[in-house]
Structure 1
Amino acid sequence: MQSLRDVISRIAGGEITPEAALALSAACIADSEPQIQAFASRPDALVPGIGPLAGIACGVKDIIDTADLPTQMGSSIYEGWRPRADAPIVMALKAAGATVAGKTHTTAFAFLDPAPTHNPHDLTASPGGSSAGSAAAVAAGMIPLALGTQTGGSVIRPAAYCGVAAIKPSYALLPMVGVKPFSWSLDTLGLMAAGADDVGLALAAITGRPELDATAASLSGLRIGIHEQAYAGAAEPASAAALRRFEQLAAAAGATLVPHDGSAALAEAFQSHGPLQDYEATQALAWEYAVHRDALPPKLRAYLDGARATTPRQYDEARRLSRRGRDAARGFFAEVDVVVSYAAPGEAPETLESTGDSRFNRLWTLLGVPCMTVPLMRGPRGLPATVQIIGGFGADDHVIAVAKGLEKLVAAGA
């Protein structure tokens, strides 16, 4: 994989130019794209910008508006559609000097019908969804940075399956204007890169918040809550082993591990994710369903058929339980420095027909809190398996610092 920090350091040191760095990404894309199929569209040439991310090629998930490339949403309904303007997040990328290397494949409208993308670690395995192309492009070394979105688990899960670092920041830290909505109460932009250090650097540059490029935190003295999310079902052996591996690393580094089950309000909030998403999705995709229902892919079409039965009363109750869960979360996160849980049920599914399961991600998306995952280990099938680090709302810098600390322990072979 390409390290964003390394590329920027080499440019700053005069070893390479921004043009050369982009040429390297272009060559990597040309070499790997036929097998991985990470990109839905690409520009004719990569031209460097001016700013701290000059020379960094970035993938943009294909539900995010771009004026100079189509935004097709993984659907024939929008084939060739060209927005008039870049989404604010794309403008922020360009203002920081990054170059859009292409639109990365998404599942159709960021739901469950799979994209054509392959997992770089095993071409027969799923790269996850819905940000499949973004995760795979980073994992294959084609680009050092990519944008994804998460409504259930669509940043953290594909990052875990493809073995890259990713952050789903606090809700609304990154602007969702110009991003095709699925559920506006849940939709959140995220970043993917080779490592936590790269993610923190990129997020700081894009947002103009230097504190997000946080120094790696020592795990010594931290109180780390271990939350296995019993309400979400059991993890597969690979993810269970990854959590145990994290516990070993953290304990050896001097952290105090705290079993952290949470209150009934959090379990109820987890259950409210479904009706909340269902009700909003039927409105976000109302035109597509009414005018182009037969052109929708089968899983999304069947989902919307059923989701239309969600009543306003059920939606209001889901919102009530969500608010109650967010209230409970303040106390939950106040008891520990961070919480660690499964990033995904297990290794990537063995079929390209599945995008995996978001059950270990949904609660944190609904709560709007920052989550981060970094590569940790390999599972029984040799595919990546890892955990996610979660913090209270607005504690993005602290989550990044702890993730960097874990990354150092993994690199040191602790």
Structure 2
Amino acid sequence: MEPWQLTATAARAKLQEGRLTVEALVRSCLERIAEREPVVKAWTWLDPVQAVARAREADKADIRGVLHGLPIGVKDMIETADMPTTYNSPIYQGLRQGRDAACVGIARGEGAVILGKTDTVEFAAAGRRAMTRNPHDPARTPGGSSSGSAAAVADGMVPLAFGTQTGGSTIRPGSFCGIYAMKPTHGVVNTEGAKRYAHTLDTIGWYGRCPADLRLLAEAFRLFDLDRPLGREARQLRIALCRGPNWHLAAPEAQAALLLAGRRLEQAGAAVEELQLPQPFEGVTEAHRVVLAGEGRGAFLQEYLADYARLHADFRDRVENFAGITGAQQAAAYDLAAECRKLFDALFPRFDAVLTPAAPGEAPLGRQDTGNPVFNSMWTLLHVPCLGIPCSKGPNGMPVGVQIVGPRFGDAALLDVAALVAPVIDPGLAG
């Protein structure tokens, strides 16, 4: 097995045991990128010489953090002190802020090697799409807005990568690309230095190739209660299977994946119970739309005034309130979100996790349609942690995932549940 094929967890073990050097791992990733980047187009900035130099420095380090020596990709709307941050906008090509975003600084502080910047939908919001292709089928999208991050991890270019989620931009690309994804509880990871879209929704997330990879970054960010293990086996779990209010928008392969995941868990001895969410949840998708449009007005006002001609029409529409959002609508959306957060949290500890679709189906054809976030936006508004798990293949042989969801600040327990259910739901991981 080549080093680029290792999960972050397996690479970390070899690094700790002295059976792998950081330089060898980084060089292997760079070789994989050189081979595959002409097809996948995951990266907006990469300096192999700098990456190798950083790897050599890591090999010399005496103090070794939880991410020591692990290469990580950074979504190109998250600031990096030594690399451009373009937001995939013509306004900011070549921009160097000269500082790290908080999440990048933490990753560096824990020993990670920042490999490069991954392509994104413009401002991680709308407008221009990433050039990135789905590594399973270059004719299809990897999803958005964390397009390059998901594709790079899925294709073995890098073992870990940062994404962000304001609607469905971390979990949905994970499903389309067949990898593991985590959107933690809103606010537990500092978003300073990442382009703001909607401040009550924006969340830093990440990708890996197994649940243990996701846990490494959770440890780096000191998420709550990681020192309190769940202490259960798979057969002791209680899982709520939730089709949700948008089930009618799920393609047959997404519906089949959810039900298949539920059956696999039942066969492993877990208790799986159908969950019908209370009536107020019927309005949560619309509430997310209102919050997104309302908060997005201010997010792009600076560019609107300073560089109107180069600002994509999508963002002009947001600033000009093309959606017609009123203050009363905004207040009502916030109120409904607060009500539903309490209702959802109250489902625990009756359940250990909620199992629900991660995406509407397979990745769509082309670059323009990055997929509907409707199976993610509700959970983003509720501020709850979500973890994407590969499950099956659709009619075109493309990955289809599911996600498990926990209560606010239940990230640690959700990671423990993922470690138990992933080998059951994802036969590829079990094998």
TM-score, normalised with respect to structure 1: 0.95
Q: State which of 78, 89, 103 in structure 1 corresponds to 2:117.
A: 103
Partner of 2:201: 186
What pairs up with 1:173-322 in 2 under 5 angstroms? 173-207=188-222, 211=226, 218-231=233-246, 233-307=248-322, 309-322=324-337
Q: Secondary structure in 2 aligned to 1:376?
A: strand
Is 1:77 the equivalent of 2:91? yes
Return closer, same or farther for 1:246/1:212 CA change in 2, 3 Å cut-off.
Answer: farther
CA shift, 1:264, in A, is 1.6
> In the alignment, residue 111 of structure 1 is paired with which amino acid?
A
Partner of 1:123: 138
CA shift, 1:214, in A, is 6.2
Task: Structure 1 unaligned segments of length 5 or more: list them.
Answer: none
Is the CA contact (8 Å cut-off) linking 1:282 and 1:308 kept in structure 2? no
Is 1:28 the equivalent of 2:42? no
> In the alignment, residue 100 of structure 1 is paired with which amino acid?
I
> In the alignment, residue 32 of structure 2 is paired with which amino acid?
C
Q: Secondary structure in 2 aligned to 1:20?
A: helix
Return closer, same or farther for 1:306/1:217 CA change in 2, 3 Å cut-off.
Answer: farther
Give the stretch that moved more between structures: 61-70 or 195-204.
195-204
Indicate the RMSD between aligned Cα atoms, in angstroms. Answer: 2.0
Distance 1:157 1:267 in 2: 21
Return closer, same or farther for 1:387/1:74 CA change in 2, 3 Å cut-off.
Answer: same
Distance 1:235 1:317 in 2: 27
Give the stretch that moved more between structures: 312-321 or 55-64.
312-321
CA shift, 1:60, in A, is 0.6
Is the CA contact (8 Å cut-off) linking 1:266 and 1:328 kept in structure 2? no
Return closer, same or farther for 1:196/1:214 CA change in 2, 3 Å cut-off.
Answer: farther
CA shift, 1:24, in A, is 1.2
Is the CA contact (8 Å cut-off) linking 1:129 and 1:355 kept in structure 2? yes
Give the stretch that moved more between structures: 301-310 or 340-349.
301-310
Q: Secondary structure in 2 aligned to 1:60?
A: strand
Is 1:61 the equivalent of 2:75? yes
CA shift, 1:317, in A, is 1.4
Q: State which of 51, 58, 70 in structure 1 corresponds to 2:65.
A: 51
Partner of 1:159: 174
Is 1:344 the equivalent of 2:345? no
Return closer, same or farther for 1:319/1:34 CA change in 2, 3 Å cut-off.
Answer: same
Partner of 1:404: 419
Is 1:382 the equivalent of 2:397? yes
Q: Secondary structure in 1 aligned to 2:78?
A: coil
Is 1:90 the equivalent of 2:104? yes
Is the CA contact (8 Å cut-off) linking 1:216 and 1:405 kept in structure 2? no
Number of residue pairs matched? 414
> In the alignment, residue 67 of structure 1 is paired with which amino acid?
A
Distance 1:25 1:177 in 2: 28
Percent of aligned pairs with the same residue?
Answer: 34
CA shift, 1:350, in A, is 1.5
Is the CA contact (8 Å cut-off) linking 1:128 and 1:348 kept in structure 2? yes
CA shift, 1:11, in A, is 1.3
Distance 1:270 1:12 in 2: 45
Is 1:16 the equivalent of 2:31? no
Return closer, same or farther for 1:320/1:135 CA change in 2, 3 Å cut-off.
Answer: same
Is the CA contact (8 Å cut-off) linking 1:2 and 1:138 kept in structure 2? no
Task: Structure 2 unaligned segments of length 5 or more: list them.
Answer: 59-63
CA shift, 1:237, in A, is 1.1
CA shift, 1:172, in A, is 1.1
Distance 2:401 2:155 in 1: 18
Distance 2:274 2:224 in 1: 33
Distance 2:283 2:118 in 1: 35
Distance 1:216 1:405 in 2: 11
Give the stretch that moved more between structures: 83-92 or 152-161.
83-92
Q: Secondary structure in 2 aligned to 1:365?
A: helix
Q: Please list the CA deviations of residues 263-314 of structure 1 after superposition, one character each: whole Å capped at 9, or x if unmatched.
A: 1222223321111111110101111123333323344444554546312222
Distance 2:8 2:26 in 1: 12
> In the alignment, residue 337 of structure 2 is paired with which amino acid?
S
Q: Secondary structure in 2 aligned to 1:207?
A: coil
Return closer, same or farther for 1:215/1:200 CA change in 2, 3 Å cut-off.
Answer: farther
Give the stretch that moved more between structures: 210-219 or 403-412.
210-219
Q: Secondary structure in 1 aligned to 2:65?
A: coil
Q: Secondary structure in 1 aligned to 2:117?
A: strand
Q: Secondary structure in 2 aligned to 1:316?
A: helix
Distance 1:39 1:163 in 2: 19
TM-score, normalised with respect to structure 2: 0.91
Q: Secondary structure in 2 aligned to 1:148?
A: strand
Give the stretch that moved more between structures: 299-308 or 35-44.
299-308
Q: Secondary structure in 2 aligned to 1:405?
A: helix
Is the CA contact (8 Å cut-off) linking 1:195 and 1:375 kept in structure 2? no
CA shift, 1:385, in A, is 0.5
Give the stretch that moved more between structures: 301-310 or 195-204.
301-310
Is the CA contact (8 Å cut-off) linking 2:352 and 2:417 kept in structure 1? no
